[in-house]
Amino acid sequence: MKEAIQNLLQLQTIDRKLDTLERAKGDLPQKVQQVKSELEKARETLQNNESSLTELQKELRRVELEISTLNTKKKKSEEQLYAVQTNKEYDAVTLEIEQAIEKIDAMENSEIELLDKEKDASEQVKLAKEALAKMEDDFQKTSVKLAKTIEANADKEKSLTEERKSIANKIKVDYLRIYERIRKPKAGLPLVTIERGACGGCYTNIPPQRVMEVRESDRLILCEHCGRILYWQDEEELTIK
């Protein structure tokens, strides 16, 4: 078997082992990113809810202060009734009291509405905090699980990566480029042997002349149907797996 093919087969074997390690992580990396994204949204929701609650509480305090001020003014006007000396003064003070009562009624209605809104907003803040706490717990658990999986395979992955780099350095740049281009779309199997006159990847029959080229040529021969790199293996040779 030609040295270029041998090196590419070794590279393919290492890449398949690395792919296996990557699959061992399952969908944990995606889950971590998903939960992280949801966590950011939950924090933003909580922040918005807390801001809304704060604004409602500010408005409620303003209304309560206004009611207190109006009650003080009303009480003062009521006390003035005992000191008026003319009907005109009496009418003026009475009007002030009536106006104060109307304003107090309106403000108290606003206060009731604000209290209801404050209650709802407080509940929303509570729910947002609970949702955030759950997501933080999920994120922690998922992150720890992923970290343990990565840690368990770290030494093996490092060793394979170093071995891959060493073998890749032995391969011509053009060949390596072809290999990398084919590898991903072909499910990590860019090199296939010819089996019974057919491509070992797509099982398309290979013309005898093409088979002879694969056996004797020093250049890479690709399957005209699936684009994989073809190689010939004599019976006494062992395929690297």
pLDDT digits (tens, 9 = 90+) for 93-120: 999 999 999 999 999 999 999 999 999 9
Please say if the pLDDT value at position 16 is more than 70.
yes
Yes or no: say if 221 and 38 are a contact pair by the CB < 8 Å rule: no
Q: Is 176 exposed, middle or buried (0-12, 13-18, 19+ CB in 10 A)?
A: middle
DSSP one-letter code for 1:
-
Compute the Cα dihedral for 60, 66, 71, 72 and give only its sign.
positive
- Write down the domain spans for the chain: 25-168, 173-231
Yes or no: say if 197 and 206 are a contact pair by the CB < 8 Å rule: yes
Report the alpha-carbon distance of residue 211 to residue 65 in Å, rounded. 94
Yes or no: say if 193 and 210 are a contact pair by the CB < 8 Å rule: no
Domain spanning 25-168: CATH 2.40.50.140: no
pLDDT digits (tens, 9 = 90+) for 157-209: 999 999 999 999 999 999 999 999 999 887 779 999 999 999 999 999 999 99
**Which pLDDT score is estimated for 237?**
46
Query: What mean pLDDT is predicted for residues 38-54?
Result: 95
Closest CA to 125 of 58, 49, 44: 49
pTM here is 0.58
Yes or no: say if 11 and 190 are a contact pair by the CB < 8 Å rule: no
Widest CA span of the chain, in angstroms?
129
Please say if the pLDDT value at position 123 is more than 60.
yes
Determine which helix (DSSP H) or strand (DSSP E) holds 191, and give its type and residue range. strand 191-195
